[in-house]
Amino acid sequence: MAEKTTRYRIGYALAPKKIQTFIQPSLLNLANQRGIDLVPIQLTKPLIDQIPFDCIIHKLPDPEWTNQLKDLLAHHPNVVVIDNPDAIERVHSRVTMLEAVSNLKPPPELSIEVPRQVFVESPHSLLSAASEGLNFPVIAKPLLANGSAGSHQMYLVLDGEGLGELKLSPPFVLQEFVNHGGVIFKVYVAGRHIQCVKRRSLPDISPEKLGTTEKVIPFSQISNVAALDYPSDDESSDGAELPPSEFVNEVGNQLRQGLKLNLFNFDMIRDSRNGGRYLIIDINYFPGFAKMPSYETILTDFFLDVVKKSTDK
């Protein structure tokens, strides 16, 4: 008689747009073949009435959902929740999201850090930001990084005069812009599974360009600003060398432990002036994993890691 295959039930609570992009038929089919049933959690019903789940994955901004999740954990501590709401909340603020980077220990020949940044809490603190040692240009980013439309409203500020023209209401952060060859490395982390891809980014900005361009440029318009010589995808990223895989994996694993998160990605750049200097400029919880090559295999492997570790306890 054939041995019955163990099946695992993973519930997901995601916004409709995230379901559309993440819960693809290809992921459902592969997970099903490997013994995983991905089950939508009904948000109109009490969560505690929908168990059993071997694991829950979620990304919802609703405080009521967070309360239900905490209540479930209080009564059913064996249910694995990916990830803890308090840990997720820390990366929703651009003031606290990068704090864990300071504790990373890269190989001796490489460095990993964050650009200098200043928190602007009010219009008054904006006036003093220019005197806090910031080197221009800077990027103005909303404080909240929760995936909302407003969290992506960013501006490139080319000099101190540009701060007066900035159409972004506090609170926000000003982060020093570091020339990085027009390439950004997006590192996706799903537990121990880590993958790095390269994408087009803002081009390097020379001192000459600082004196001839606009003072403030919305990110949405940068691709149309001829003075910045914005490169094409091919010119920008195809010839760029990826960071060493051992380095990427080490940073990803250390960051995962420091953040106490399993599903995230981080945006990393390489200093054009120093090829051994890398900087992490943003961290995103539960990003668009479907943009990652072979995301179905990586996520299914991660799910199996989680549920098998739980049942082995």
Q: Confirm whether residue 133 is marked as ligand binding.
A: no
| 208 annotated ligand binder | no
Whether 86 has a binding-site annotation, put simply, is: no
Is 180 within any annotated ligand binding site? yes
Known binding residue 167? Answer is no
* 183 annotated among ligand-binding-site residues: yes
Is 178 among the annotated ligand-binding positions?
A: yes
Q: Annotated binding residue at 186?
A: yes
303 is in an annotated binding site: no
Q: Is 150 annotated as a binding residue?
A: no
Q: Is 59 among the annotated ligand-binding positions?
A: yes
17 is in an annotated binding site: no
152 is in an annotated binding site: yes
Tell whether 94 is in a known binding site: yes
Is 296 annotated to bind ligand? Answer: no
Annotated binding residue 90: no
3-state SS of 32-78? HHCCEEEEECCCCCCHHHHCCCCEEEEECCCHHHHHHHHHHHHHCCC
160 is in an annotated binding site: no
313 is in an annotated binding site: no
177 annotated as a binding-site residue: yes
75 belongs to an annotated ligand binding site? no
Binding site residue list: 18, 59, 94, 141, 152, 175-186, 201, 267, 282, 284, 288
Binding site residue list for Mg(2+): 267, 282, 284
Binding site residue list for ATP: 94, 141, 175-186, 201
Binding site residue list for 1D-myo-inositol 1,3,4-trisphosphate: 18, 59, 152, 186, 284, 288
